[in-house]
């Protein structure tokens, strides 16, 4: 398993980036954690729908997204808000989406991020199609897709990898093996020793990386992205990490897993080792941390305010979102509704 | 009669079948250790052990297909599709494989399996976790399709589904899992598939409901100034033509309340049958109360508007009774 920065903050290889980028990515992880905890809190207050926390997976998401170009495609899941945000998805739209507003699913035009997949596994094939089509159109854009260890049991995963391998498309398959798929441990999910080794069957490189190591995640993703962009084909990355929280806000992990296991992974916190690394190089102190956290909290707060200040959608809006040119029966349904509303009778 | 939540009634029906028939096995995602995401298999692992109650990898096509194979050996698999939407990943195994084996083998290979799935809106689960989708199955010969409408009939219908010699899709409205009801239990409590239930007798109008809309209809009837007969179909394939025709022949008016899009919903089948058989006897056109032809909205307010509610059903039915003509649906400005 590739590792560059140990849990105690020791560098055991060459850093893949300079200190400035390291500081930027550390800040991003702090923002991500602040966003995640805020969403959990908002959900408890009934201000968000069910939420899938990613605490513990910040390095996997921020480190991998940092290896992309800003216009590369990203196709992720319900648990990947940090990666989506890092790829330019406005935070207020991420929040809006979770309040139940479909407008949250529509980022600005320059953001090449599809809506997160709710169907486990259904989206990996989209990344294959995106990458393939970009190549057909002479573009050097690549696609990255995020998924969990559980998703590798779906037929879709195998079809996506096979297709990508055969066509040699510029696609990076980024698996966050966070130990659990709801109540199912990774060991019961697949008899393969690693998820990375599944790549062999599809004729592509497979790399296992410490998913809580920002440095190593960035390095292996960078290599996969370069390979993809150079037309050398897809890569499967298995980032070994851990879901510190529940599967979603409606799950109780105490039913199926040990508190001891969670504690053990807390000690491998992805933020902590970067903090030590920076501190040893004179780039971190408690006042700075407080300032970074406060800024992060403000950024998240602002996003929540923006999301909550969107005017609520009207009943007629349910007809608007389905087709480029709505078929006649829908046009009539919507038009009549608006007529009645305007007349104050709706 | 014990009082319990619908998810408890389901767990008990499975447990009682497992006690009386050692060939019944349960598998699906998170059904064993966690007792099911909706707690519909709670306690089964402890009582019956890991050979009969198994968590599967996240492979719907895999475990549904394996259930077809296991059923062909004589086991009675009860598999859980957490959200009916995930059946999409495995549909071939159901509509093209499992439901056709008996026919293709001239009766030699049979598939006595039960597929349980949660369905419907009302919990703020958004467009991809809120559909009913029973129409996927209704026109696939070889399948039976039933639905619980609450704890009261979940137990009895599920026992029949598990005992059935052919594949049965058993639908469970998500928003009713936590609702309590009085449940008749025991081996005599099985409710035959294909038999509707008159939930409430009435004279002015027959309201036919299924699954989640039964409660809506009952609530409407309780508040109504007119007398409504409520029929819970309980099974869509095969549906109880006799019960519906007999009732409408008396009341002469039919309202069908469905949690699915207006176009091509199951109610069209009922409406066609009744309008053809009782043509001339009806005193009003058949009214269907449904959702509009759009995906289930995520936001709470829109989702509430989207679903047929008690007050909406009441307003629509009242209009029908008062005018003898069809009201327009809410999205065309009709009474709400
Ligand atoms: C096709 C499909 N099957 C089942 C589910 C229910 N489900 C949602 S998340 C999940 C676990 C996924 O685990 P994993 O892929 O490891 O990702 P994680 O949630 O751990 O990030 C399951 C079974 C679903 N959404 N879609």
User: Which pair of tokens denotes residue B234?
Assistant: 């309980």
Give B54 to chain A, closest Cα distance, Å: 11
Separation of CA A148 and ligand 1 centre (Å) = 8
Give the residues surrounding ligand 1 with Cβ less than 6 Å away: A 79, 118-121, 147-151, 178, 180-182, 243, 247; B 29, 58, 60, 82, 86, 89
Helix (H) or strand (E) holding B160: helix B151-163
In CATH terms, the fold of domain B3-189 is: Rossmann fold (3.40.50)
With CB atoms and an 8 Å threshold, state whether A101 touches B33: no
Looking at domain B197-332, its CATH architecture is: 3-Layer(aba) Sandwich (3.40)
Average pLDDT value for chain A: 95
Q: What is the CA radius of gyration of chain A?
A: 21
All residues of chain A having their beta carbon less than 8 Å from the beta carbon of residue B299 are 99-102, 312-313
How many residues appear in chain B? Answer: 336
| pLDDT for the residue numbered A343 | 64
Q: Which has the closest alpha carbon to A29: A86, A78, A108, A106?
A: A86
Q: Is pLDDT of A335 > 80?
A: no
Q: How many CA atoms lie within 13 A of B314 on its CB side?
A: 14
What is the DSSP code (8-state) at residue A276? H
List the catalytic residues of A: 243, 247, 256
Give B80 to chain A, closest Cα distance, Å: 15
pLDDT class for A313, splitting at 50, 70, 90?
Answer: confident
pLDDT class for A346, splitting at 50, 70, 90?
Answer: very low
Spatial neighbors of A93 by CB under 8 A, at least 6 apart, are A103, A104, A105, A106, A107, A307
With CB atoms and an 8 Å threshold, state whether A100 touches B89: no
All residues of chain B having their beta carbon less than 8 Å from the beta carbon of residue A332 are 332
Stretch B74-99: mean pLDDT, rounded?
96
SS3 category, B223: helix
User: Which pair of tokens denotes residue B228?
Assistant: 């409504």
CA distance B201 to B213: 17
All residues of chain B having their beta carbon less than 8 Å from the beta carbon of residue A319 are 292, 294, 331
Alpha carbon B7 to chain centroid, angstroms: 14
What is the DSSP code (8-state) at residue A178? -
Longest dimension (CA), chain B: 61
Separation of CA A143 and ligand 1 centre (Å) = 21
Kindly report the protein residue whose alpha carbon is nearest to atom 9 of ligand 1: A120
CA distance A50 to A70: 29
Pick from B28, B29, B85, B174 the residue to mutate for probing ligand 1's pocket: most ligand atoms within 8 Å of its CB.
Answer: B29
| pLDDT for the residue numbered A344 | 59
- The ipTM (two decimal places) reads 0.86
Separation of CA A77 and ligand 1 centre (Å) = 9
Average pLDDT value for chain B: 97
Q: Where are the alpha helices (DSSP H) in chain A?
A: 19-44, 58-65, 81-86, 91-99, 124-136, 155-167, 186-189, 198-201, 214-229, 259-266, 270-280, 286-308, 328-342
Task: List pLDDT tens digits, range B167-210.
Answer: 999 999 999 999 999 999 999 999 999 999 999 999 999 999 99
Q: Are B151 and B181 in contact (CB under 8 A)?
A: yes
Domain limits of chain B?
A: 3-189, 197-332
Which atom belonging to ligand 1 lies closest to the Cα atom of A119? 26
**Percent of residues, chain A, with pLDDT higher than 90:** 89
User: Which pair of tokens denotes residue A245?
Assistant: 């929280």
Separation of CA B60 and ligand 1 centre (Å) = 11
Q: Is pLDDT of B293 > 50?
A: yes
Ordered structural domains, chain A, with CATH: 19-313 (3.40.50.970), 314-346 (no CATH)
pLDDT class for A314, splitting at 50, 70, 90?
Answer: confident
In angstroms, the Cα distances linking B180 to A318, B2, B31, B304 are 32, 10, 21, 22
| pLDDT for the residue numbered A280 | 97
SS3 category, B53: strand
With CB atoms and an 8 Å threshold, state whether A100 touches B126: yes
User: Which pair of tokens denotes residue B160?
Assistant: 């029949």
With CB atoms and an 8 Å threshold, state whether A336 touches B88: no
Stretch A77-88: mean pLDDT, rounded?
98
User: Which pair of tokens denotes residue A173?
Assistant: 């398959």
Stretch B295-309: mean pLDDT, rounded?
93
pLDDT class for B19, splitting at 50, 70, 90?
Answer: very high
Tracing tokens 């037309």 back to the chain, one arrives at A231
CA distance A214 to A58: 8
Cis previous bond, A337, omega within 30: no
Please tell me which of the candidates A121, A150, A318 has its beta carbon nearest to residue B306.
Answer: A318
All residues of chain A having their beta carbon less than 8 Å from the beta carbon of residue B294 are 318-319, 321-322, 330
pLDDT class for A340, splitting at 50, 70, 90?
Answer: low
With CB atoms and an 8 Å threshold, state whether A154 touches B59: yes
Alpha carbon B136 to chain centroid, angstroms: 13
With CB atoms and an 8 Å threshold, state whether A318 touches B129: no
All residues of chain B having their beta carbon less than 8 Å from the beta carbon of residue A322 are 294-295
Task: List pLDDT tens digits, range A172-185.
Answer: 999 999 999 999 99
Which atom belonging to ligand 1 lies closest to the Cα atom of A122? 1
Which of A284-298, A316-330, B54-68, B132-146 has the weakest average pLDDT? A316-330
Tracing tokens 């309980």 back to the chain, one arrives at B234
Domains B3-189 and B197-332 share a fold: yes
CA distance A334 to A312: 17
What is the DSSP code (8-state) at residue B136? H
Tell whether A153 is within 8 A of chain B (Cβ): yes
Task: List pLDDT tens digits, range A38-53.
Answer: 999 999 999 999 999 9
Separation of CA B222 and ligand 1 centre (Å) = 41
User: Which pair of tokens denotes residue A206?
Assistant: 């497979």
């Amino acid at each position: 398993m590739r590792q560059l920065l140990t849990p105690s903050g020791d560098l055991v290889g060459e850093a893949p980036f300079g200190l400035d980028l390291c500081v930027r990515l550390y800040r991003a992880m702090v923002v991500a954690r602040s966003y995640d905890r805020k969403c959990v809190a908002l959900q408890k207050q009934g201000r968000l729908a069910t939420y899938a926390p990613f605490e513990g997976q910040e390095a996997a998401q921020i480190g991998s997204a940092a290896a992309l170009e800003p216009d590369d495609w990203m196709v992720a899941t319900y648990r990947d808000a940090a990666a989506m945000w890092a790829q330019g998805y406005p935070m207020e739209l991420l929040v809006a989406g979770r309040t139940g507003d479909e407008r949250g699913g529509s980022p600005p035009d320059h953001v090449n991020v599809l809506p997160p997949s709710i169907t486990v596994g259904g989206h990996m094939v989209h990344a294959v199609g995106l990458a393939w089509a970009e190549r057909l159109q002479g573009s050097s854009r690549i696609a990255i897709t995020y998924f969990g260890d559980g998703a590798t049991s779906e037929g879709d995963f195998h079809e996506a990898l096979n297709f990508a391998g055969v066509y040699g498309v510029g696609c990076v398959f980024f698996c966050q093996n966070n130990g659990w798929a709801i109540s199912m441990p990774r060991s019961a999910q697949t008899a393969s020793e690693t998820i990375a080794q599944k790549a062999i069957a599809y004729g592509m490189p497979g790399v296992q990386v410490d998913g809580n190591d920002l440095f190593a995640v960035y390095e292996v993703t960078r290599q996969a992205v370069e390979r993809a962009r150079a037309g050398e084909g897809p890569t499967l990355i298995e980032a070994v990490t851990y879901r510190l929280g529940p599967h979603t806000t409606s799950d109780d992990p105490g039913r199926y897993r040990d508190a001891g296991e969670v504690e053990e992974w807390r000690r491998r916190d992805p933020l902590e080792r970067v903090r030590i690394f920076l501190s040893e190089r004179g780039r971190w102190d408690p006042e700075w941390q407080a300032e970074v956290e406060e800024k992060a909290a403000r950024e998240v707060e602002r996003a929540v305010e923006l999301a909550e200040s969107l005017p609520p959608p009207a009943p007629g809006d349910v007809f608007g979102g389905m087709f480029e040119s709505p078929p006649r029966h829908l046009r009539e349904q919507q038009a009549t509704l608006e007529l009645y509303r305007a007349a104050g009778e709706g | 009669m014990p009082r319990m939540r619908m998810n408890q009634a389901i767990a008990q029906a499975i447990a009682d079948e497992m006690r009386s028939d050692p060939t019944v096995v349960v598998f699906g995602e998170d059904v064993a250790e966690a007792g099911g995401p909706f707690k519909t298999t709670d306690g089964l692992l402890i009582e019956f052990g890991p050979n009969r109650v198994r968590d599967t990898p996240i492979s719907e096509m895999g475990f549904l297909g394996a259930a077809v194979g296991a059923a062909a050996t004589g086991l009675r698999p009860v598999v859980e599709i957490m959200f009916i939407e995930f059946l999409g990943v495995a549909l071939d195994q159901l509509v093209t494989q499992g439901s056709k084996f008996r026919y293709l083998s001239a009766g030699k290979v049979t598939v006595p399996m039960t597929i349980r799935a949660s369905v419907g809106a009302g919990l703020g689960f958004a467009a991809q976790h809120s559909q009913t989708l029973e129409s996927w199955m209704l026109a696939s010969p070889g399948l039976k399709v039933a639905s619980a409408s609450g704890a009261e009939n979940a137990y009895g219908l599920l026992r029949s589904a598990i005992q059935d010699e052919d594949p049965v899709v058993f639908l469970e409205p998500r928003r009713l899992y936590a609702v309590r009801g009085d449940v008749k239990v025991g081996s005599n409590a099985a409710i035959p598939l294909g038999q509707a239930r008159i939930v409430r007798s009435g004279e002015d109008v027959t309201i036919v409901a299924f699954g989640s809309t039964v409660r809506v209809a009952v609530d409407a009837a309780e508040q109504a100034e007119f007398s409504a007969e409520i029929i819970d179909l309980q099974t869509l394939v095969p549906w109880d033509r006799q019960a519906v025709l007999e009732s409408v022949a008396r009341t002469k008016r039919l309202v069908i309340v469905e949690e699915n899009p207006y176009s091509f919903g199951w109610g069209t089948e009922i409406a066609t049958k009744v309008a053809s058989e009782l043509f001339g006897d009806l005193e009003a056109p058949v009214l269907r109360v449904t959702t509009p032809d759009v995906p289930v909205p995520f936001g709470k307010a829109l989702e509430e508007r989207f679903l047929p509610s008690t007050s909406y059903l009441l307003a629509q039915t009242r209009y029908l009774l008062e005018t003898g003509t069809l009201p327009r649906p809410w999205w065309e400005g009709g009474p709400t």
